[in-house]
A and B are shown apart, each in its own frame.
Chain A
Amino acid sequence: MSDADMATPSSASEDAPGKKGGITRRKFLTFSAAGAGLLFGTGYLTRGVWRRYLAGYINTAEVPYQGSTDPSLWFEIRADNSVVLYSSKVEMGQGTHTGLAQIAADELDVDVARIRVAHADSASGNVDAFSTGGSTSISSLWTPLREMAATLRETIRVEGARQLGVEPSEVTIEDGVLAAGDQTLTYGQVVEAAGEWEVADTPPLRDISEYRYVRQPVARVDLEEKVHGAPIFGMDAEMPEMLYGAMVRPDRVGARLVSADGSAAAGISGVMQVVIEDDFVGVVAETFTQAERAKEAIEVEWAVERAWELDDIREMVRVGEGTPYVIQKEGSVDDALASGDVIEAEYTSPIGAHAQLEPGVALADVTEDGATVVVSTQVVALTRREVAKALGMNQDQVNIQPAFLGGGFGRRLHTPIAVDAARLSRAAGRPVKVVNSRKQEFQRDTFRPPTHHLLRAMLGADGSITAVEHNISSGDVMYGSPMIPNPVAALIGADLGAWRGGMIQYGGIPNHQAVSWRVELPFATSWWRSLGLLANTFAIESFMDELAEAAGRDPVEFRLAHIQDDEAGRRLRAVIEAAAARAGWSNEPIDGVAMGFAASTDARTPCAHVAEVSVEEGRIRVHRVTCVIDPGVAVNPDQVAAQCEGSVVMGLSAALYEEMTLSDGVLSPTIYGPYRMALLRDAPQEIDVQILENADRPGAVGEPPLGPIGAAIANAVWRLTGTRLRDMPLQPALDRALNA
């Protein structure tokens, strides 16, 4: 990411935020017209900072917020005393907008119901330079947003006191209304009557115990829109005179365009334009259906150097192939495992698709002066940069308007479809909406990379682990993505995304190490909710059960015995003990139902699962999952639970069923159904979530509960059937074992 990305549109340096910055009423009211100051000087994101940021992102989710903290860019107080919170973080289902509204309401002193949350356009200057992702939105904004809200409250108090002719200390505030004696003024009235005003010093923040909304199960702020089908998604965006575009893509991995002939397509009803510019082949038509039809009619020749097979990929993704990086080292594993009975096991995970329901979509309107793009994206700043570059414009000529996302899961951490729409719009001279077909969405996904894991360990005479080593081979997660240019990748070393969850969390084991092997695959692999966590936890936590079995010990007791006594260890211990207690942990199957246990720590959030599983005529059924998570302060316990429920079932789906295959260079399946995902009939009857809050601030929520589910299920299946499933997806693995 270049320094230029940090530059918010900076037309007016005199508007720069500051304690005495003279922010005017107009800026509050006409937020989007206001210029924005530079929060960070250019050069802020030096590589060293970028590297530290990434490390923080992966390890702790405690990352600095990478955008403006000017309250005038975040809040609009309207004359009717309602409040609009302009969020630089996009809402993709994770509930961030609701959490932000709660956090703001508690320092702004307004009823949360009067806060409407909207996405900030990039032209407003309120741009997150990084992304919405990594389970960092609430944690990174926890302090800045409270400070902005409190500063705004005090600014209004001071201005309101001036208007009332009293001292600020005489003004009390309740639900957006100032009172002094028998006089009252609403925030809306104060703002309306304000001229130039001075921004107050940021007051001390309140104690969490004083908050009315934080830690309450407030209903989602977008609930009504979503229950009544409001047109809030990128797919729903419209502009006058809008056309539809479709892009031609190859079916085969690594295909290069040789030639394209659009003459047949040009004759199809409704087709406005066939656009062939170098390797860019697209079509613009009046309707979606016509664009799709015309796309198929473009005659294209592709060249493919190699027809890849899945076995080729499997051979590449092997521990021992590629480049190794030691990512964790304590004691000397090599010495400890040099002689004696080494216990060893290998695990694998497949290529996984995002399969979010809303396909990639962008609507662009490009004129000579600039471009407006409505897009479902997790990366506003990156998308703005890419569109500007493609059009040869300055970034301040491009306004990215993020829409609600019909699912993110990391799929939209790169959205070049915005560039496609912009190029087609420029060619057609009208607004153009481009929609990926479902086939394109599957074939051109940025997949969860396949992995191979080699676990080795030794048990001491007392049945405890003396040494353990985790070797991971994985396709890239961060690398190869436009957010991590190669020079930065070289500085970082191992792919932080691939080894997320790959370190040994049991610090009580005297010798432990983890090694990450990087392999570059011929197709794009990238961010998939929780990155490497699902596969790495599947391997490590399955192996922990294998070791417990070898030691003749109960798997829960065995885990607890290897936890170190520090803060992370105590938090992990607490979720493990709580999950076992809540589920009524039993190491023996009861009436054909076995429990499986697993735990993980991701971005400092520990989580433990107990899966209650049966195998009926060879079919793995998960009846109930107990999930205990400790994210620290749970801003919205109901939405924390929702994220746990979603993670459990998404993880169950990936662990039991999902896999992409590759044959003759073609990735498939390309449709739901053949790409088998968990339907209602596959979901547990109950997911029982318990939230612990053993930290004094909010931490990661959206991804950590995906970690343990695969191992928890596999451990239960072993207990039931005696078959140890070491390859995801587990259901086909069991089918193979039963048929062998």
Chain B
Amino acid sequence: MIVTLIINGTEQTVDVDEATPLLWVLRDELGLKATKFGCGRSACGACTVHLDGEAIRSCSVPVSAAADAEVVTLEGLGTPEAPHPVQQAWTEEVVPQCGYCQPGFMMAAAALLAQAPDPSDEDIDRTITNVCRCATHVRIRKAIHRAAEIGASSGEAAGEGGDR
């Protein structure tokens, strides 16, 4: 099946089985490796991307469900030269250890900040249910608050992204 996707602001066409999870289309058809495979059953959040601005777990979304929708991956969130506030905060707080789960956390955090520009700890704890085995939990919380500050001071909602 030919599917047209809008990935990080660019239209892309792929020819795959319609049941193929979006995750594997991103990783192996489009070469966007930031989005990770962790469990394949929406249980860990390592594959989190934005689908029309919402954080979804791409291992369990068939590519057909993403047709014509706006998909944003970590690669589209920001670049080293122009980092998204979440990425800037993650850098300032030195959050990653192994780093494998961090793209999913950053995408979940960016989606949260788009909805709630200044989230409380309770908002964070309730909304973000990704798994991190290195246990960077405390720095993740700190970095989300820092990203909210950066977003506020730069005058843009920290959650936006995808057009860079």
Contacts and interface: CB of A to CB of B under 8 A. Distances in A.
Task: Tell me what chain B mostly uses at the interface: helix, strand, loop, or mixed.
Answer: loop
A564 to B, nearest CB: 33
B15 interface: no
B124 A680 contact: yes
A219 B90 CA distance: 12
Interface string A88-102: 000011110000000
A226 interface: yes
Nearest to B121: A685
Contacts of A357: 36, 38, 44, 46, 98, 100-101, 131-133
Interface in A420-441: 435, 437-438
A645 B136 contact: yes
Nearest to A237: B33
Nearest to A290: B17
A655 to B, nearest CB: 12
Given A672-B131, A679-B125, A680-B129, 15 more contacts: A226-B96, A227-B96, A269-B17, A289-B21, A356-B133, A357-B98, A358-B36, A407-B98, A408-B98, A650-B134, A677-B131, A679-B137, A680-B140, A680-B141, A686-B138
Contact of A681 (B80, B96, B126, B136): B126
A435 B39 CA distance: 11
Interface string B55-97: 0000000000000000001110011100100010011001111
22 contacts: A220-B94, A223-B96, A230-B34, A287-B24, A288-B37, A354-B133, A355-B131, A357-B132, A358-B36, A406-B100, A408-B98, A409-B133, A437-B40, A642-B97, A646-B97, A650-B135, A671-B39, A677-B133, A680-B124, A680-B128, A680-B140, A683-B137
A438 B41 contact: yes
Contacts of A23: none
Interface in B107-164: 121, 124-126, 128-141
Interface of A: 92-95, 219-220, 222-233, 235-236, 269, 287-289, 292, 354-359, 404-409, 435, 437-438, 638-639, 642, 645-650, 653, 671-673, 677-687
Nearest to B75: A229
Contacts of A228: 34, 74-75, 78-80, 83, 87
B97 A678 contact: no
Contact of B133 (A638, A650, A685): A650
Query: Which residue among B46, B83, B126, B134 has the maximum number of chain A CB atoms within 10 Å of its CB?
Result: B134
Interface string B15-59: 001011100100010000111111111011010000000000000
A231 B100 CA distance: 10
Contact of B96 (A220, A438, A684): A220
Q: Which of B17, B19, B132 has the most CB atoms of chain A within a 10 A radius of its CB? A: B132
B9 interface: no
Nearest to A220: B94
Contacts of B28: 287-288
7 tightest A-B CB contacts, nearest first: A229-B34, A406-B100, A93-B98, A226-B99, A93-B97, A649-B135, A683-B137
Nearest to B95: A227
Given A407-B134, A435-B37, A233 B125 contact: no
A608 B130 CA distance: 29
Residue of B17, B83, B94, B126 with most chain A CB atoms under a 10 A cut-off: B94
Given A95-B97, A287-B24, A638-B94, A653 B36 contact: no
Contacts of A93: 96-99, 134
Contacts of A646: 97, 134-136
A438 B79 CA distance: 31
B135 A653 contact: yes
A231 B33 CA distance: 6
A673 B24 CA distance: 23
Contacts of A233: 36, 100
Nearest to B46: A357
A678 B103 CA distance: 19
A355 B74 CA distance: 24
Nearest to B103: A229
B49 to A, nearest CB: 11
Contacts of A355: 131, 133
A354 B128 CA distance: 22
Contacts of A225: 99
Contact of A407 (B106, B128, B129, B133): B133
A374 to B, nearest CB: 13
Nearest to A218: B94
Given A269-B17, A355-B133, A235 B44 contact: no
A404 B98 contact: yes
Contact of B17 (A223, A289, A292): A289
Given A638-B94, A645-B136, A686-B138, A235 B34 contact: no
Contacts of A222: 96, 99
Contacts of B87: 227-228
A235 B96 contact: no
Contacts of A359: 37-38
Contacts of B100: 233, 235, 356-358, 406-407
Contacts of A685: 121, 138
A416 to B, nearest CB: 20
A729 B101 CA distance: 25
Nearest to A650: B135
Nearest to B104: A357
A236 B99 CA distance: 13
Nearest to A669: B43
A287 B95 CA distance: 33
